Structure 1
Amino acid sequence: MPQNELDPKHLETLDRDLGRLSTLETATSYTSRPVIGLGVGLLFMVFAALLAAMVFGQANNTLVVVIAAAFGAYMALNIGANDVANNMGPAVGANALTMGGAIAIAIVFESAGALLAGGDVVSTIAKGIIAPESLGTSGTFITAMMAALLASAIWVNLATWIGAPVSTTHSVVGGVMGAGIAAAGFGAVSWDQMGAIAASWVISPVLGGVVAAGFLWFIKSNIIYTEDKIASARRWVPVLVGIMGGAFATYLAVKGLKRIVSIDLGDALLIGAVSGVVIWLVMIPVIRKQSEGLENRNKSLKVLFGIPLIVSAALLSFAHGANDVANAVGPLAAIVQASTTGDFTHAFGIPLWVMVIGALGISFGLFLFGPKLIRMVGNQITKLNPMRAYCVALSAAITVIVASWLGLPVSSTHIAVGGVFGVGFFREWDAERRMRKAKAVIPGAKRLPPEERRRRKLVRRSHFMTIIAAWIITVPAAALLSAGLFAVINGVMSAG
């Protein structure tokens, strides 16, 4: 080998060149990822359209159903990209799950929830927002549902792009309302129902935040701020896990198993209470064994909350799949019903092939586009650890139960993100309270200047304002978009 090839300068040059190639490959991979995602998403929409064509063959309105299936697939992709982040974000942000592990668990349990417990009979128009008879003919109804489906999907897509977790339920509601107004005027809308939904914009996040903050206060008071943290954890962590188990048993009984068995709220609460006691008793020896040899510091406590947090993420995904898949395929199922029977004024079920589109679409959307919102919810609003993430997950289950008891229409997205905000704002308040207490003990201590106090805020105000603004405009934005699309689709169909 020639001597100059062994010259260290040549080797350094080779290292730099290899480094540039490595950087170029990384950049190419990063920039090609969205393109690959878009390509796979488009292929899935084509698959959904072909599946609808195979099911309907040469029947009347086959083309309408095929187009609607593609729209439903697009909506399902966006629900996976946006909505599922609320279940997985806290666990990922707390490092209880890796991004890959979270996506795998969510895909399995979202699909299981949708296919096993989803698809119960729903009303002809989403949550009774408009009176179906006001639309006149089945053709007008189909056009309205297509506009609502496409408008809500576009809005959720836009919200995901700007990094705002929004309610897909409210997006569908806004889409149906806008199309209904465009088709039959303002009198077609059930304004009482819309008022209840508007109230839920405030009730959902506030209730979720208060419940999450309350449990974090309990954990801090009874475990973190005690002298012997491990002894306190052995006493209270089994109780907390039992409460979580009972809450999720009730939550699944009320919201997730309606297709398998009908359970009223009283029976669901009894199931939850029994489950909670059993889990509490089982967890006592488990936590005692897990806590052996742990140091008496906060970092050690994180180990004890890891498994409950993973289980809660899986259960939230199952319940979400069982309930929210209808947001993607409910309007599609309504179009199928109206196209095949001409009936659009009675309740309808969701066919299995339509449910498959919803389940697969949510899974693909999560895998391809979900990490962005998972990072937003888990890391970028406020810093989460397993204890704080536990409070958010438990808050989601309890708040839905309370809302069901009160008969309030709430958004799982608003509850989960409200729980994250509640945890963050509580930590700010608690840190300020402890600082004031410390200054009372140390005479002459100076108060921090306003700039430094703003810098130490534990909740990012920019994300807070962006998300709140997106929540407020979701229904009107989806409604305006849907009304415009109704006019376009109606014009195209009339011309055809």
Structure 2
Amino acid sequence: MDIYDIFFYLSLGAGFMMAFNLGANDVANSMASAVGAKAISVRQAVFIASILNFVGAVFLGSHVTATVSKGIINPASISDPKIVMIGMFAALLAAGVWVLVATLTSLPVSSTHSIVGAIMGFGIVAGGADVVNWLKMGGIVLSWIISPFFASAIGYFVFTSIRRQILYKKHFILQACKWAPFWIALTVALIMLSFLYKTPVGKSLSLPWGVSLAIAAAVSLGVYWAGRLLVSRLVRDAEEGPETVEGVFRKMQVGTSCYVALSQGANDVANAIGPVAAIYLIAREHQLLAQAQVPISMLVLGGVGIAVGISLLGHKVMATVGGKITQLTNTRGFAVDFGAASTVLVASNLGLPVSTTHAAVGAVVGVGMARGFRAVDFRVLGKIVLYWVLTVPIAAITSIIFFELLKFVCY
């Protein structure tokens, strides 16, 4: 067994650890608003998210992934493939450690930004500052500002619209029958477009925007009429009170949370398995190619890691995002999910590197702000933002330390 084999087997453990932390932190956001609004319990959220993320990672996750330099560094500028392999392993360890620290303190951070910062760190040491794509890094820094504010604005708009159109009306039951089907149809359209443009399976279809919009519009129209029947049935036998309206949005919120969990499993598994795939390719070919064929067993490893992470530690971040920033109801929680999903869809199609974590927290703040500044706990929000700012530099510094130690041992 040579050094390449040793690092490959070690990377499987590090990849599992990263997937575990990804599930405990990033993926927990998908169910946070549903738990905070009491649409489902923590136990139900853990069960649902574990299954859907595993399914998303294994069956919808891409079997062909870039070597997860993520465009941050140019590995071709580093002549020794062994150095790249050691660096990828160090980056995986560094990102995993930082996300674990954030999870244990119950604060949400971006696993994508963690792995990007870690790769940048070893890249600077191994190949110099010129090896880093600073324009790409600038885009990531810009996303810290764009995604939370954009999601906040959408969450604010959606909730204030629901409040104005339904909750503040005298005959709010009739208004719910009128407007809830519209939001159901709009949500289905958003989910369909997100599936087509955010998941690897959807991207492989390569449908033009016009065709995708036509499909989404046609399906949404059918859903709208089905929604009218469903909503009228839900409120017909119910006591005519505010809880009736919340009950309608409760079912919608569970649906959107389930989709986000499935989508995150498909997309975010690359953060854990991508570096493993890169190390696997180097160990097999003794060089780093542009893309790596990822064995299904690696996706299963990532899916299991994500599911275990949600099960054991997911409740910590769920509690922060779902209940400590602002108080959520089902209508507010629906607005949060809609705002976060819309932001990720729009930003990713504009080529902006957006974090689901940042979008989810931004949407929560926007919904809270709709009820005034006092409805948002800015102390909790300040801690979260501080961790966001620290993510890239801490991941980079930790990666450099691990890289230098490993290089000293191996050379």
Corresponding residue for 1:493? 410
Matches of 1:130 and 1:268 in 2, distance apart?
34
Corresponding residue for 2:205? 262
Q: Are residues 1:196 and 2:113 paired?
A: no
Matches of 1:384 and 1:263 in 2, distance apart?
38
Corresponding residue for 2:317? 373
Please give the residue correspondences for 1:413-452 in structure 2 after superposition, counting only pairs within 5 Å.
413-428=357-372
CA contact (8 A) 1:124 1:132 kept: no
Q: Are residues 1:278 and 2:218 paired?
A: no
Corresponding residue for 1:11? none
- The CA deviation at 1:306 is 1.6
SS at match of 2:201: coil
Corresponding residue for 1:61? 4
Matched to 1:425, the amino acid is M
SS at match of 2:291: coil
Change (3 A) 1:155 1:284: same
Q: Which runs of 5+ in 1 are unaligned?
A: 1-57, 430-456
Matched to 1:183, the amino acid is A
Q: Are residues 1:327 and 2:271 paired?
A: yes
- The CA deviation at 1:259 is 6.9
SS at match of 1:291: helix
CA contact (8 A) 2:4 2:282 kept: no
Corresponding residue for 1:18? none
Q: Deviations over 1:448-489 (max 9, x none)?
A: xxxxxxxxx111111100001111111111111111111011
Corresponding residue for 2:293? 349
Matches of 1:270 and 1:258 in 2, distance apart?
19
CA contact (8 A) 2:110 2:357 kept: yes
- The CA deviation at 1:409 is 1.1
TM-score, with normalisation over the residues of structure 2? 0.97
Corresponding residue for 1:216? 159
Corresponding residue for 1:484? 401
CA contact (8 A) 2:91 2:399 kept: yes
Matches of 1:259 and 1:322 in 2, distance apart?
11
CA contact (8 A) 1:120 1:259 kept: no
Matched to 1:124, the amino acid is T
Corresponding residue for 1:359? 303
Q: Deviations over 1:2-60 (max 9, x none)?
A: xxxxxxxxxxxxxxxxxxxxxxxxxxxxxxxxxxxxxxxxxxxxxxxxxxxxxxxx577
- The CA deviation at 1:75 is 0.6
Q: Are residues 1:153 and 2:153 paired?
A: no
Matches of 1:293 and 1:216 in 2, distance apart?
26
Change (3 A) 1:260 1:200: closer
- The CA deviation at 1:257 is 4.3
Q: Which residue of 161, 167, 175 corresponds with 2:110?
A: 167
Matches of 1:348 and 1:243 in 2, distance apart?
37
SS at match of 1:95: coil
Deviating beyond 4 angstroms after TM superposition, the runs of 4 or more aligned structure 1 residues are: none
- The CA deviation at 1:112 is 0.7
Give percent identity, aligned residues only.
34
Q: Deviations over 1:305-338 (max 9, x none)?
A: 1211111111111100000000011101100011
Q: Deviations over 1:356-413 (max 9, x none)?
A: 1110000001101111111111111111111011011111221122113322110111
Q: Deviations over 1:280-319 (max 9, x none)?
A: 1111011001011444432221111121111111111110
Please report the RMSD computed on the Cα atoms of aligned residues, expressed in angstroms: 1.5
TM-score, with normalisation over the residues of structure 1? 0.80
Say which is worse superposed, 186-195 or 308-317, in terms of deviation: 308-317
Matches of 1:288 and 1:59 in 2, distance apart?
67
Matches of 2:124 and 2:162 in 1, distance apart?
49
Matches of 1:265 and 1:349 in 2, distance apart?
26
Corresponding residue for 1:237? 180
Please give the residue correspondences for 1:46-57 in structure 2 after superposition, counting only pairs within 5 Å.
none
Please give the residue correspondences for 1:456-467 in structure 2 after superposition, counting only pairs within 5 Å.
457-467=374-384
Matches of 2:203 and 2:189 in 1, distance apart?
20
CA contact (8 A) 1:125 1:132 kept: no
Corresponding residue for 1:92? 35
- The CA deviation at 1:205 is 0.6
Corresponding residue for 1:469? 386
SS at match of 1:97: coil
CA contact (8 A) 2:14 2:92 kept: yes
